[in-house]
Amino acid sequence: DVLVDGKPCDCDVVANCNVGDPVPLEVKLTNRSKHSVGPFALTIVPYQDYQNGVQNYELRDAVTFVGPNTFYIDSVKPTENSLCFGALLFLYTGDFFLNIKFHDDNSSRELPLSWFCLPSVHIRALEPVLQTKL
């Protein structure tokens, strides 16, 4: 499960946030197998999809993490879960997506996507609405 700003993500729902406000992010991994799994690492990588086959992962000037973007998980027992908490800070407006990857612990070998049921995460960073006093 993935929650953005406390709300569950769904492939049909866009999470809106304000530029300059930290956006809490929570990833919950539930082990539905009969065996313990781990150790492995979970990495979150933001990108922009230009909808022409090009995905831009060079977003250092547009989005940053408050805290780590990689989480190390020792093991998860059957029917139990592991929670990873972080936050994103968007510096510019736009539509962003999150690529959530699982790796063998301390290696770049990605684990099969068939092991995970990850929702598509789409975040729209908007200009904050300014309040004026009369």
The confidence score (pLDDT) of residue 102 equals 80
Average pLDDT over residues 46-50: 89
Q: Rounded to 5, what percent of the chain is helix, strand, coil?
A: 0, 50, 45
The pTM assigned to this predicted structure is 0.81
Q: Are 95 and 48 in contact (CB under 8 A)?
A: yes
Average pLDDT over residues 45-63: 86
- Structure tokens given for 5: 């700003």
CA distance 36 to 78: 6
Closest CA to 119 of 31, 39, 20, 13: 13
pLDDT digits (tens, 9 = 90+) for 85-116: 999 999 999 999 998 888 776 556 555 555 56
In the CATH hierarchy, which top-level class contains the domain 2-107+117-126?
A: mainly beta
CA distance 98 to 118: 10
For the chain, domain boundaries: 2-107+117-126
